[in-house]
């Protein structure tokens, strides 16, 4: 692990990470449009990004880590979960499988995995990834408490031990069995990316020659293009094998190639709003699905699919700008930043104010 950065160093732009968040979120949107149904791998890319960002934002300090993560995740997720529950109560015909169960609601709000039929899904079904995220945050916080400098190594070792135990032991408990799934290895992959990138790339991005940047970025783009193909070509049902390794390699290559590069603001903004996009796009997609927009595979249907994707992105930016960001900032002021106002800037690397969560 690299040493702490000097506060005198210029901020390193991580627009590339925000761009990858945007790609991950949009692919999940396409996955839920029946015309495509190939974008599940966006979740794996999100998990790799999350492992990287948790190390990145705690480089100098892990103070208030869990409080910041809760403020970042919980308000929007609870709002979405309660919204789906209310729909299940009043207009159940709009939903496919969700029912108005108060027990399911409580477990969902508390991030406790439970079975719904043959699958483990909370009330807001995309929240299954947040169960893994919150579990990872707990492991990461415990690792920082043990040794902050070695937080990536300790948390990766814990993740590996949990996955191995899950493969060797058949746990009867649904939460334990679910949280020991191999997919949590992708958080460790992201932390591994951080370890190498912070040494080779993030410290001196201006020193990298243009041809090197082009080659690394091109390799990353090619690897991302391979991910939807892997859906059909990779026989393994283990998503870490099918998508996780490709997600890790593509993330590493693109961040290495584009570190410090300023990308279009609209693309970065979609990355900023990726949490809102991830959580709330099913509302929009479901409306268009219910009225039969995607029932025919013709030019009009594919055009409408593009319209829906753009609409989801636009609404998510509005949600981020007027709901998600103000609520997070308000809660941070009230619950965390209550001490004397600092005169010197923090965060030497200038990480995104809101790190990726899914």
Convert the pLDDT of each residue in 40-81 to its tens digit: 999 999 999 999 999 999 988 888 999 999 999 999 999 999
Q: Is the pLDDT of residue 184 over 60?
A: yes
Mean pLDDT, all residues of the chain: 87
Q: What is the pLDDT of residue 91?
A: 74
For residue 203, name the pLDDT band (cuts at 50, 70, 90).
low
Is the pLDDT reported for residue 350 higher than 50? no
Specify whether the CB–CB gap between 336 and 67 falls below 8 A. Answer: yes
Range from 11-20, 200-209, 341-350 carrying the lowest mean pLDDT: 341-350
pLDDT level of residue 3 (50, 70, 90 thresholds):
very low
Beta-bridge mates of residue 120? 115
- pLDDT-derived band at 37 (thresholds 50, 70, 90) equals confident
What are 288-314's pLDDT values in tens digits? 988 888 888 889 999 999 999 999 999
* Predicted pLDDT of residue 96: 65
List the one residue out of 167, 177, 194 whose CA is nearest residue 57: 194
Q: Average pLDDT for residues 236-257, to the nearest whole number?
A: 93
Residue 152 above 70 pLDDT? yes
Q: Using the structure block, give the residue that is written with the tokens 């796009």.
A: 281
Q: At 115, phi and psi to the nearest 5?
A: -85, 135
Q: For residues 350 and 69, which has the higher predicted lDDT (pLDDT)?
A: 69
pLDDT at 8 over 50: no
Phi-psi region of 173 (alpha: psi -120 to 50; beta: other; left: phi over 0): beta
Average pLDDT over residues 103-117: 92
Taking every pair of Cα atoms in the chain, the longest distance, rounded to a whole number of angstroms, is: 61
d(CA 208, CA 87): 52
Is 253 exposed, middle or buried (CB count within 10 Å of its CB: 0-12, 13-18, 19+)?
buried
Stated pTM of the model: 0.89
Residue 314 is predicted with a pLDDT of 97
**DSSP assignment letter at 180:** T
Encode pLDDT of 231-244 as tens digits: 888 887 889 999 99
Q: Count of alpha carbons within 13 Å of 103, Cβ hemisphere only?
A: 3
Which contacts (CB < 8 Å, 24+ apart) does range 196-203 have?
A: 196/252, 197/52, 197/252, 197/255, 197/256, 197/259, 198/1, 198/2, 198/55, 198/56, 198/59, 199/2, 200/256, 201/255, 201/256, 201/259, 202/12, 202/259, 202/349, 203/2, 203/5, 203/9
């Amino acid at each position: 692990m690299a040493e702490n950065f000097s506060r005198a160093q210029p901020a390193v732009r991580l627009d590339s990470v925000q761009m990858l968040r945007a790609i991950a979120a949009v692919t999940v949107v396409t996955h839920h449009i029946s015309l495509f149904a190939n974008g599940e791998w966006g979740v794996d890319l999100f998990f790799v990004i999350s492992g990287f960002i948790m190390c990145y934002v705690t480089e100098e300090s892990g103070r208030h880590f869990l409080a910041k993560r809760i403020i970042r995740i919980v308000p929007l997720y609870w709002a979405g979960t309660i919204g789906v529950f209310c729909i299940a109560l009043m207009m159940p015909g709009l939903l496919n499988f969700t029912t108005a169960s108060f027990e399911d609601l409580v477990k969902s709000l508390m991030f406790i995995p439970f079975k719904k039929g043959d699958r483990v899904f909370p009330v807001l079904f995309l929240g299954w990834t947040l169960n893994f995220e919150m579990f990872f945050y707990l492991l990461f916080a415990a690792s920082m408490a043990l040794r902050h400098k070695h937080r990536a190594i300790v948390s990766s070792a814990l993740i590996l031990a949990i996955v191995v135990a899950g493969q060797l032991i058949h746990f009867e408990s649904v939460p334990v069995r679910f949280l020991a799934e191999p997919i949590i290895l992708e958080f460790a992959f992201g932390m591994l990316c951080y370890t190498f990138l912070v040494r080779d790339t993030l410290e001196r991005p201006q020193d990298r020659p243009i041809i090197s940047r082009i080659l690394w970025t091109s390799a990353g783009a090619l690897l991302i293009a391979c991910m939807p193909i892997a859906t059909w070509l990779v026989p393994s049902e283990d998503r870490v094998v099918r998508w996780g390794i490709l997600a890790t390699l593509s993330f590493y290559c693109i961040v290495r190639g584009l570190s410090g590069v300023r990308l279009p603001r609209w693309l970065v903004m979609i990355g900023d709003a990726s949490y809102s996009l991830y959580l709330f796009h099913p509302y929009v997609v479901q409306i268009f699905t219910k009225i039969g927009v995607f029932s025919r595979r013709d030019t009009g249907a594919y055009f409408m699919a593009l319209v829906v994707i753009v609409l989801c992105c636009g609404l998510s930016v509005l949600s981020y700008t007027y709901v998600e960001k103000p609520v997070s900032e308000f809660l941070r002021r009230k619950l965390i930043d209550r001490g004397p106002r600092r005169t010197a800037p923090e965060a030497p690397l200038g990480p995104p104010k809101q790190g990726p969560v899914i």
